[in-house]
Amino acid sequence: MKLLASVLCLALGAAWVRPARAEEARPNVEPNFEGLEPGWDAAETYRLNALTIVHEEISGSFLTFNVGRSKWWRPVRGKFRNPTKYDDFYLKVGRDDLGERDRRRHVVSSTLYWSGMLVWVGGLGVFLWGLDVHHTTRVEVGLGMFAGGFLMTTIASNIQPPLVSDEEAEALAKAYNRQLQAHLGLAPVATRDARDRLSLGLGLTRRW
């Protein structure tokens, strides 16, 4: 139980670390244009590779049980909105420092989540075993492990990426797109900035 308490203390500390800001200690930002998907001309290449930020949230219109973040963003690439990993997004916009921090947080979150699942399942087993043999102490220990495992998975969900705020992610994407236009020799073009909202069912709302 002492070990479980120590793990929870460390997890709580990680969960409440102040979110990163894209402006803090900003290095020289050099976007990465390697691996661009080619189009039949420069304009089509831009349309296939421009970055967009998709905003998603759990809608209040549906009764849902949520133990993690209720709002988040994720990056997509090109006119077909191909899913893009956070790590790849930070690499493309030239923020390797954020990518490294994102990878560390992901490792902590994944480790904490799966450890919590093991504690949760183990606690359930000890609880049922205690009930079967009418052993009060085992029942109490099982309940404690069950609650601790649930808390660990909840904290793990809350320290998952994204690492920066929606506004900062949009600023990074827009800066990348402007530099991509210059890289391809294109004149600046208007980028889509409408925040249309689509209901996806099951209480999930998406906007971009």
* SS3 call for 110: helix
Task: Say what the pLDDT of residue 197 is.
Answer: 38
What's the angle, vertex CA 208, arms to CA 161 and CA 70, rounded to 5?
45
**Residues contacting residue 34 through CB under 8 Å, at least 6 positions apart:** none
Contacts of 23 (CB under 8 A, 6+ apart): 168
Identify whether the C-beta of residue 33 lies closer than 8 Å to the C-beta of residue 121. no
Q: How much is the pLDDT for 196? A: 40
pLDDT of residue 93: 96
Measured from the Cβ of residue 130, the count of other Cβ atoms closer than 10 Å reads 18
Q: What is the pLDDT of residue 25?
A: 47
Supply the pLDDT for residue 26. 55
Q: What is the pLDDT of residues 11-64, one digit of tens each?
A: 455 444 445 554 444 556 789 999 999 999 999 999 999 999 999 877 655 444
- Number of C-beta neighbours around residue 185 at 10 A: 7
Residue 73 backbone dihedrals phi, psi, to 5 degrees: -130, 160
Mean of pLDDT over the chain: 78
- Per-domain boundaries in the chain: 2-15+32-207
- Residue 172 tokens read as 């990074």
Structure tokens at 9: 């203390």
Mean pLDDT of 74-88: 95
| Neighbouring C-beta atoms of residue 120, cutoff 10 Å | 19
Summarize pLDDT for 156-199 with one digit per residue, the tens.
Answer: 877 766 789 999 999 999 999 999 999 999 987 554 444 443 33
pLDDT above 60 (res 208): no
Distance between CA atoms of residues 169 and 21, nearest Å: 10
The 10s digit of each residue's pLDDT in 93-147 is 999 999 888 888 888 888 988 998 999 899 988 888 888 777 788 888 888 988 8
The per-residue pLDDT for 202 is 40
